Amino acid sequence: MSGKIYEKEHQIKYYECDTKQKMTISMLINIMLHVSGEQSYSLGVGDEVVAEKGLAWIILQYEVEVERMPAFYESIKITTQANSYNKLFCYRAFKVYDSQGNLCVSVNSTFALMNVQERKMARVPAELIAPYESEFSKKLIRMPKPVKVDEEKMTSKEYQVRYLDIDSNCHVNNSKYIEWAMDTLDLEFLTTHEIETMTIKFEKEVHYGQLIQSEISSTKNQENGIVTAHRILTEGVTNCEASIVWKVTA
């Protein structure tokens, strides 16, 4: 894999952690994205440069693998690297290490550029991608698809999109979809299970004031682990699909 590596230290705060004092996946994703934003800025292709071309980065998918979720007050190192790209997609990897250098979390992501006016995906211009020194490869990387929600066993909860769900990018913050998905699970489950892997695919943006449905169904995988399938919908349209493989908290 080619691509410049950018890294950043981060100290985990109490409000980034759940009741088990482990960092929440939604906060981790927030911080990862901040780090990739910093890399872009440092390479002279920050969001404002992208915006001048009428474009904006969007995230299509995250593949998350958790070895050990870091805990309150730990200092972690987050690295990011734009590995490769093709006409439409950019593939970026994130890694989270603890202070001993152990890999804690690994994330593969797919980014694309959107033409802000037309609300359509745009080709990746050479001058925006060159500074990352990532490899051009025609080959599309097939990311695993999230497990589908089982319509017959599905339950759902409603959430109204709030003002503070929208961040400085003027979009519903990506991490909110994860919060709506996870909140369909009960307290007992969430305090006794941890995320092992998560696949999340963003299909269509949710907007302020919309009422979203967060659907969930649960199944088991071959190793007898619990897998939850999630779908976020507004007015019958799928905005986001995700699936999570869980492990019992040690």
Q: Which residues bind a copy of itself (CB under 8 A)?
A: 13-15, 17-21, 24, 26, 30-31, 33-34, 37, 41, 72-73, 162-164, 166-170, 173, 175, 179, 182-183, 185, 187, 190, 208-209
Q: Report the nearest approach of a copy of itself to the CB of residue 40 (Å).
A: 12
Mention every residue, 6+ apart, whose C-beta is less than 8 A from residue 170: none
Least distance in angstroms from the C-beta of 167 to a copy of itself = 5
Burial of 118 (0-12, 13-18, 19+ CB in 10 A): exposed
| Smallest separation, CB 141 to a copy of itself (Å) | 26
| Amino acid at residue number 117 | Q
Between strands 55-66 and 193-202, the pairing is: antiparallel
| DSSP string over 142-188 | -PPPPPPP-TTT-EEEEEEPPGGGB-TTSSB-HHHHHHHHHTTS-HH
Q: Name the residue nearer to a copy of itself (CB basis): 19 or 224.
A: 19
In the complex, minimum distance from the CB of residue 164 to a copy of itself, in angstroms, rounded to a whole number: 5
Choose between 153 and 207: whose C-beta lies nearer to a copy of itself. 207
Quote the least distance from Cβ 171 to a copy of itself, whole Å: 9
Instruction: Of 2, 138, 135, 119, give the one whose Cα is nearest residue 56.
Output: 119
Cα separation, 219 vs 119, in Å, equals: 36
C-beta closer to a copy of itself: residue 24 or 61: 24
Nearer to a copy of itself, 154 or 185 (CB): 185
